[in-house]
A and B are shown apart, each in its own frame.
Chain A
Amino acid sequence: MPDLEVTELCFQDRGPYSFQVKGGECMGLEGASGAGKSRLLRAVADLDPRTGHLVLGGVDADTVSAPQWRRMIGLLPAESGWWLDLVGDHFHDFATLDPEMLADLGFEPSVQDWQVSRLSTGERQRMAILRLLVNRPSCLLLDEPTASLDPRAVEKVEELLCAYGDENQAPIIWISHDSEQLNRVSRRRLRMEKGGHLLVPEGDDNGR
């Protein structure tokens, strides 16, 4: 099982954090804005300087190259970045995309030739999710993945992400301010308090 094990993770003035997310499990992460939830995910993706051990499916982050680790980890940032003009150019090979998945997210294959600047915030977010998933990450760190979506799209995206986690036995950490959403997608929750104290749920043998 590709579990995500975080041990004694420290970054900036935060930590140490230790917790575990089992393969196929979705763990909610809630807490006030500015508490440091996004920074926690960034540290797990090794995007900020950190100490401590990160292990995913038995692979220690320090034993693989940083780009390789980030491909495995699959962090979806709250705001996606786009650096080329056309949507399709941001994909390794747009033609190999599953049209069904594209349709699930409300796109037609012609989206390939759309200008990124003409996408709405919601369309951009859905496209970013697709772009992340075609990378086939073995874990998902989701930073408010549905914050900019309309209710119908929220439902679709929840379905898609949870299905991905199930099929690939991928551990998921899901940040949301919507408590009901976390009830729908996750069984256990991490709670980050102001100041950075992390409450790890019961039943976590590695918790503190």
Chain B
Amino acid sequence: MGVKPLSPLDLSLAASLLVVLGALSWRMQLGLAKNMTIAAIRTTVQLLLIGHILRLLFSNVHIVYMVLISLVMLTTAGREVVARQHRPLKGIQGWLIGSGAMFFSTFTLTLLALTVIINHQPWYTPQYAIPLLGMMLGSAMSGVALSMDRMTETVWQQQRVIEQRLLLGHSATEAIGEIRRQAIRAGMMPIINSMSTAGLVSLPGMMTGQILGGSSPMDAVHYQIMIMFLLCAATGFGSIIAVYGIERRMFDRRQRLRLDVLRLPKLTHRRST
């Protein structure tokens, strides 16, 4: 039993809703029409593209292709993590820490899930591996980005308090401890919230897709529960690694706070002329 395929006409119907919303936004001067159009086009192009890539991957199952696509996904996620930060670390450091944290947390957990839990032969079967890795990276990316952003931003704001503690003879680890804990919590909050409301407020996307695809609801639910746990673990471990990575960069050998490792924020508001 498969899903009823959607015709171009079906998609155009859905698209016409955005046209109506765009017109409304223009009337109300919300200034959203342009962003929404670009986002809608991006969604279409990116999804069509990944659809073709997945089709190719599914018909040519080979581990090399899988490694390549996972690296592309990881690189993109790393760039996104840096882009979401107000004051990222200078140079390649921020990207390295973000990508490294996501690599360790998502790749190991995905491997674990594929080889031990799902145990489909071969373990890198793209039908399992790609959606799994994609979901893990997506969740870890949000968490890691949130944690890193919170960490650098709070350290920047709390410079006086941190240095006061250093002056009283506290170690760097002590002086930044509370900020580190807050940053990790900030990264984990969204996934914890979505675990607690899963099924009550929203049906998770993957489960919905599986049910639409004809799986029995209970099978879909079992998968979703596993996914939730994996996502939570990947996000948590990723945030912790990333925050410790930043902490190491923020202090030097003599435990001095080095705000000069942070990039100045980009101007988000241009002066209107």
A171 to chain B, nearest CB (A): 17
A-side binding surface: helix, strand, loop or mixed?
Answer: loop
Q: Say yes or no: A48 contacts B166, CB within 8 Å.
A: no
List A contacts of B162 (CB < 8 A): 81
In Å, the complex CA distance between A82 and B163 comes to: 11
A77 at the interface (CB under 8 A from B): yes
In Å, the complex CA distance between A29 and B158 comes to: 28
Q: Say yes or no: A66 contacts B163, CB within 8 Å.
A: no
Q: Say yes or no: B165 contacts A46, CB within 8 Å.
A: no
Q: Say yes or no: A81 contacts B164, CB within 8 Å.
A: yes
- Size of the chain A interface, CB-CB below 8 angstroms: 21
- Mask, B216-257, CB within 8 Å of A = 1, is 000000000000000000000000000000000000101111
Q: Say yes or no: A70 contacts B252, CB within 8 Å.
A: no
- Mask, B144-180, CB within 8 Å of A = 1, is 0000000000000010111111111111000000100
List B contacts of A81 (CB < 8 A): 160-165
Q: Say yes or no: A131 contacts B168, CB within 8 Å.
A: yes
In Å, the complex CA distance between A46 and B251 comes to: 12
In Å, the complex CA distance between A82 and B258 comes to: 20
Q: Say yes or no: A71 contacts B165, CB within 8 Å.
A: no
B254: contacting residue among A46, A71, A131, A132, CB under 8 A: A46
B254 to chain A, nearest CB (A): 4
List, sorted by A's number, 25 A–B pairs whose CB atoms are closer than 8 Å.
A46-B254, A46-B256, A47-B163, A47-B167, A49-B252, A49-B256, A49-B258, A66-B166, A66-B254, A67-B169, A67-B171, A70-B166, A70-B167, A77-B160, A77-B163, A79-B160, A81-B160, A81-B165, A82-B164, A83-B161, A83-B164, A83-B165, A83-B178, A135-B168, A135-B169
B residues neighboring A (CB under 8 Å): 158, 160-171, 178, 252, 254-258
